[in-house]
A = this chain, B = another copy of it.
């Protein structure tokens, strides 16, 4: 049986694991994403080398990475983290670094496409061919599958940067996105919550007006994704979504905004099965990286 290594390469921390799926994670490690890319990647390599010594050779690696990235295998910069503002990480050849150390197939995609694949393989998207995985946290990002394959296109989705209706009378906060000001991420990410209210989201009580506004923005983004993509399900992950009651508010607001225009029971009746939590919880990312590795291995054998 094949054995895989997965890296959830986040902008704050790396999570590396060895195993074959949610019921078979044999080792896991997490460490901070420092400003020294080579050093951070070197820690991942050291972990996998140590695991190979104990468990035998890995058959493939998967990386679900913060971005922007180049996920196009035909591109000369495939496997790079490209123009990220994160210090020390712009134009980093992640896949090249790992291939040099291991000489096995290395799959590489966005963190959210990785999580989406994990949810498709073992979580809340099993059996679907068109769905979206969103994370609402330090940033807002989205990935998913359309017609049974992960979304790439020109590059990869940047769902957090769509524009929403920003009612400046209700919410004069200008947004914090350095590129777009009040795009979705600029209005509704964790750091936007903190900047608007002067304290982090998890310090705001459940009845604080922050949450109805937050639910409104999250729902607007979800509605736009529903209109553009017609997903069969929308999975909402990320730290902000852990706030009690927020998911229910988002569902109500999605229905209110769509106003029964899309006549599908999933949206008119059973929205609690349509806008859902990740089936893998906070482990969607690293398990998605394992699923990416599995895919690269299947493609190679």
Contacts and interface: CB of A to CB of B under 8 A. Distances in A.
A220 interface: yes
Interface string A154-167: 11111111111110
Among A155, A164, A165, A224, find the residue whose CB has the most chain B CB atoms closer than 10 A.
Answer: A224
A154 B223 CA distance: 13
Nearest to A259: B179
A130 B159 contact: no
Contacts of A301: none
A27 interface: no
A25 interface: no
Contacts of A152: 130, 147, 230
A83 interface: yes
A58 B232 CA distance: 35
Interface string A132-156: 0000000000100011110111111
Interface in A216-252: 220, 223-232
Contact of A230 (B83, B149, B151): B151
Interface in A74-132: 82-83, 129-130
A154 B266 contact: yes
A68 interface: yes
A264 B154 contact: yes
Interface residues of A, number: 50
A180 interface: yes
Given A163-B223, A164-B165, A157 B228 contact: yes
Given A161-B261, A261-B180, A231 B154 contact: yes
B155 A230 contact: yes
A229 B264 contact: no
A140 to B, nearest CB: 10
Contacts of A223: 162-163
Interface of A: 68, 82-83, 129-130, 142, 146-149, 151-166, 179-180, 182, 220, 223-232, 257-264, 266-267
9 contacts: A147-B148, A147-B151, A151-B229, A154-B230, A154-B267, A157-B230, A161-B227, A163-B224, A165-B166
Given A146-B147, A162-B224, A163-B257, 18 more contacts: A83-B263, A130-B153, A146-B151, A147-B149, A147-B151, A151-B229, A154-B262, A154-B264, A155-B230, A157-B228, A162-B223, A163-B165, A163-B220, A179-B258, A179-B259, A224-B228, A225-B228, A229-B229
List 8 tightest A-B contacts by C-beta distance, closest first: A153-B230, A130-B153, A146-B146, A147-B149, A162-B224, A162-B227, A179-B261, A228-B228
